[in-house]
Amino acid sequence: MSIDAPILVTGAAGRLGGVGGEIVEILRSRDLPVRALVRTDDDRAEALRATGAEVVIGDLTRATDVARALEGCRRMYFGMSVSASYLEATVTAAAAARAHSDLEVFVNISQLTVSQMSLLAMTDSLQQRMHWLGEQALNWSGLPVVHVRATVFLQHFFFSQWAAESIAKDGTIRLPFGDARTSPIDTRDVAEVIAAVLEHPEPHVGKVIELTGPKSEDMRAVAAEYSEALGRTITYVDVPMAEWQERELPAHGLPEHVASHMKTMAQLHADNRYDRLTHDFEAIIGRPATSIREYVAKHPEMFGSSKPSPVFP
């Protein structure tokens, strides 16, 4: 399989998580041809062009836009920000991809929670249900699909923006996770796996790849990792779930669909549903996934520290 045709990357300018943009950067660093589909021609689109990627403007829920973006491509990554139209976009992308008989791989970003879902076991998150349904539709499509199911991102609200706010305020991480364990993963690690699959799809087509961080630990251990990375004491405050849902979550002013998804993710964390540990990242990339300590140490400014972070072996 040659890579003379552009690789289509959707959701390349998405904010939360930012997997698409990371994929573009990795592929372009390997001098691979990339076409990035974005919804708005703004400074994020310009940043993609600066990598040497071709940028096309379009809406993932409009079949004509997706078909135009796919023209001449033989490999594609499908991803989209948390959205009420996620399932519509997934099926639209599948329909457009089916029109290309020479498509070599369709890489679909999904959620690790889907691994625990079935017709008789769903969650209260519409977003997670759409990921499950999207996987079903893609499996029915007959396309050369690879599902990449990632656990919660380190760049997620829980571990970055909201953690940064409470750390800056009083040196705490305030979440309603109780004693449950979790294994968040760095967006860059997810992008590295997807880029590897896009570059060499043959061994992965038809498979599910499950991605977690290098260890699963409770939030007190997570706070200890922040402390080690930042060189100061960070403590975990276990906020009662009802208080968090009624007072702290609404304070962030999220759109209803996103807020509902966050609410379910918090409850699933409290129910220990994120206590997952896989080794797919290491098997594909050849190194351990990025730890929480390593991630925080790389971004001290995000957590209110201007001091150089400790160097870890």
Give mean pLDDT in consecutive 10-residue pieces for the chain, a chain of 313 residues: 85 75 96 95 92 96 97 96 94 96 95 96 95 98 98 94 94 97 98 98 98 98 97 97 96 93 96 97 98 95 64 35
Strands annotated E in the chain = 7-10, 34-38, 54-57, 75-78, 105-111, 145-150, 172-175, 181-182, 208-211, 217-218, 235-238
Looking at the fold, whether 167 and 126 belong to one and the same domain comes out as no
Looking at the fold, whether 169 and 128 belong to one and the same domain comes out as no
Identify the pLDDT of residue 212. 98
Identify the pLDDT of residue 48. 94
Alpha-carbon distance 113 to 106, whole Å?
A: 20
- Cβ neighbours of residue 81 closer than 8 Å, sequence gap 6 or more: 11, 14, 15, 16, 17
Identify the pLDDT of residue 311. 38
- Structurally, the chain folds into a number of domains equal to 2
Say which CATH number the domain at 80 has: 3.40.50.720
- Percent of the chain exceeding pLDDT 70 equals 95
Identify the pLDDT of residue 308. 42
**Looking at the domain assignment, is residue 283 inside a domain?**
no
**Looking at the domain assignment, is residue 68 inside a domain?**
yes
Looking at the fold, whether 239 and 139 belong to one and the same domain comes out as no
Looking at the fold, whether 57 and 188 belong to one and the same domain comes out as yes
Say which CATH number the domain at 167 has: 3.90.25.10
pTM of the model: 0.94
Looking at the fold, whether 94 and 174 belong to one and the same domain comes out as no
Identify the pLDDT of residue 100. 86
- Cβ neighbours of residue 292 closer than 8 Å, sequence gap 6 or more: 154, 159, 184, 213, 222, 225, 226, 229
**Looking at the domain assignment, is residue 309 inside a domain?**
no
- Contacts of residues 267-270 at CB distance under 8 Å and 24 or more positions apart, as own/partner, are 267/124, 267/241, 268/113, 268/123, 269/152, 269/158, 269/175, 269/176, 269/177, 269/180, 269/182, 270/176, 270/177, 270/178, 270/180, 270/241
Looking at the fold, whether 40 and 138 belong to one and the same domain comes out as yes
